[in-house]
């Protein structure tokens, strides 16, 4: 390297100033990542060496990738071949995090600007956002748990959200099912929810399935999704989600509430050590054994909390970050505001996942699955 060479890395703000003055800014990310939005003035280029050979940029060029690491390596390699190139430090994540301008079509559609506050997290970044855009999540039940989960998943940019629920909005739902308004009492929940989620984020697909999930239709309706969010209000549906999760090898994010308490866990059949829902509750309880939400009651904010925890676990699974609640049952007592966690091991005698496993969790009776 010549001592007169400019630094290999350039601050995104300086890169924007240089690009505005005519310096070529090349976006090296994948086509899928670029679809989420591009920096203003950036060109989509897969092979910068080939592009430079054809274009011969007088003052060199700026290279932009997702996090600034790949562009740094490429800029460095190009320098050694005598091609002037600088890497934009921190990549697209830093560009968005600093609020630098994006291509107009992106700003109109929401695009990266919409997700700026999470793209600037290194654990998410532009690559993670593109991953969310490609993700498909199904919510079984759009009630007390499904309503907050759906809102946050749509806001986060999950590309396709499928809603399965055969119910209509009842006035007694409104205390906790925050997707619905008083004027929508009597309308089908999936239709109202679809409108609401599309209004929140026009960039995602929402698919409404006004059916009751059961063991028969579950495999067909749940196949093709990346995560199953269990917000069912009845045991047959919940066991159908669990069995389909095992059969289709799709993780299930479980949540349940009653009165002032709730619980959350992730059952991920892709992990050999993960328990399944039947490790916790081997068979559905006899009718009447467990009080329903309507009988036991629930403070509206409790399904809100649990549904949001389910949304959080879902996003972590989709992004492949953090430690999911696999093999752990999180119990929330909102009255004491006491959170505790039980180790939930795979049950050797489980009718769902059987075979090998460790110690069995001794448990109390199941909570009403009622999302309400
Ligand atoms: Zn099991």
pLDDT: is 370 or 288 the higher one?
288
Ligand 1 centre to CA of 267 (Å) is: 9
Ligand 1 centre to CA of 306 (Å) is: 22
Ligand 1 centre to CA of 282 (Å) is: 8
Instruction: Give the HSE-up count for residue 47: Cα atoms under 13 Å, Cβ half-sphere.
Output: 5
pLDDT: is 41 or 143 the higher one?
143
**Residue 109 pLDDT more than 50?**
no
Q: Tell me the average pLDDT across 276-281.
A: 94
Residue 345 per-residue DSSP state: P
Cα–Cα separations (whole angstroms), residue 227 to 193, 211, 244, 357: 19, 19, 11, 24
Ligand 1 centre to CA of 281 (Å) is: 9
77 falls in which pLDDT band (50, 70, 90)? Answer: very high
Is domain 135-343 classified as CATH 3.65.10.10?
no
Ligand 1 centre to CA of 270 (Å) is: 13
User: Same CATH fold, 135-343 and 9-120?
Assistant: no
Residues in contact with 152: Cβ distance below 8 Å, sequence separation at least 6, in sequence order: 308, 311, 312
Q: Sheet with 43-44: list strands edge to edge.
A: 9-10, 85-88, 61-64, 25-27, 43-44
The answer to whether the beta carbons of residues 367 and 292 sit under 8 Å apart is no
Domain ranges of the chain: 9-120, 135-343
C-beta atoms surrounding 43 within 10 Å? 16
pLDDT tens digits for range 155-212: 999 999 999 999 999 999 999 999 999 999 999 999 999 999 999 998 899 999 999 9
Give the distance from CA 300 to its chain's centroid: 24
The structure tokens listed for 76 are 């460095």
The structure tokens listed for 278 are 């039947």
Q: Tell me the average pLDDT across 356-369.
A: 46
Angle between helices 48-55 and 69-80 (to 10 degrees): 50
Ligand 1 centre to CA of 36 (Å) is: 38
User: What superfamily does domain 9-120 belong to in CATH?
Assistant: Rhodanese-like domain (3.40.250.10)
pLDDT tens digits for range 162-176: 999 999 999 999 999
Instruction: Please state whether 294 falls in left (phi above 0), alpha (psi between -120 and 50) or beta.
Output: alpha
Ligand 1 centre to CA of 313 (Å) is: 20
Ligand 1 centre to CA of 107 (Å) is: 46
Q: Tell me the average pLDDT across 235-253.
A: 96
Ligand 1 centre to CA of 133 (Å) is: 31
Ligand 1 centre to CA of 8 (Å) is: 53
Angle of CA points 172, 175, 176, to nearest 5°: 110
Ligand 1 centre to CA of 263 (Å) is: 17
Which uninterrupted H or E stretch holds 298?
Answer: none
* DSSP bridge pairs for 188: 168
Ligand 1 centre to CA of 272 (Å) is: 11
d(CA 66, CA 33): 8
Ligand 1 centre to CA of 253 (Å) is: 14
């Amino acid at each position: 390297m010549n001592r007169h060479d400019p630094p290999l890395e350039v601050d995104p703000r300086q890169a924007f100033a240089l690009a505005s003055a005519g310096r070529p800014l090349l976006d090296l990310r994948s086509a899928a990542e670029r679809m989420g939005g591009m920096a203003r003035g950036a060109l989509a280029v897969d092979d910068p060496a080939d592009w430079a050979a054809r274009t011969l940029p007088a003052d060199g060029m700026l290279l932009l990738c997702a996090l600034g690491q790949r562009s740094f390596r490429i800029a460095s390699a190009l320098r050694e071949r005598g091609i002037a190139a600088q890497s934009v430090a921190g990549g697209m994540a830093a560009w968005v995090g600093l609020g630098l301008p994006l291509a107009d079509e992106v700003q109109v559609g929401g695009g990266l600007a919409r997700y700026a506050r999470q793209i600037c997290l290194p654990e998410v970044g532009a690559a993670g956002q593109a991953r969310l855009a490609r993700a498909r999540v199904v919510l079984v039940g759009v009630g007390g748990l499904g309503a907050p989960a759906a809102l946050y998943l749509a806001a986060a940019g999950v590309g396709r959200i499928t809603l399965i629920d055969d119910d209509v909005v009842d006035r007694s739902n409104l205390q906790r099912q925050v997707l619905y308004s008083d004027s929508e009492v009597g309308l089908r929940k999936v239709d109202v929810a679809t409108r609401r989620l599309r209004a929140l984020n026009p960039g995602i697909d929402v698919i409404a399935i006004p059916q009751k999930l059961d063991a028969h239709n579950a495999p067909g309706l749940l196949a093709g999704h990346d995560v199953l969010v269990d917000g069912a209000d009845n045991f047959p549906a919940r066991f159908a989600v669990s069995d389909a999760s095992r059969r289709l090898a799709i993780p299930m994010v479980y949540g349940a509430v009653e009165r002032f308490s709730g619980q959350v866990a992730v059952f991920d059949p892709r992990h050999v050590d993960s328990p399944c829902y039947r490790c916790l509750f081997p068979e559905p309880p006899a009718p009447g054994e467990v009080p329903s939400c309507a009988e036991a009651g629930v403070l509206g904010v409790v399904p809100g909390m649990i549904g949001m925890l389910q949304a959080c676990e879902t996003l972590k699974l989709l992004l492949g970050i953090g430690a999911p609640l696999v093999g752990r049952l999180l119990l929330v007592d909102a009255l004491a505001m006491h959170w505790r966690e039980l180790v939930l091991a795979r049950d050797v005698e489980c009718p769902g996942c059987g075979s090998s496993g460790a110690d069995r969790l001794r448990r109390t009776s199941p909570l009403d699955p009622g999302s309400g």
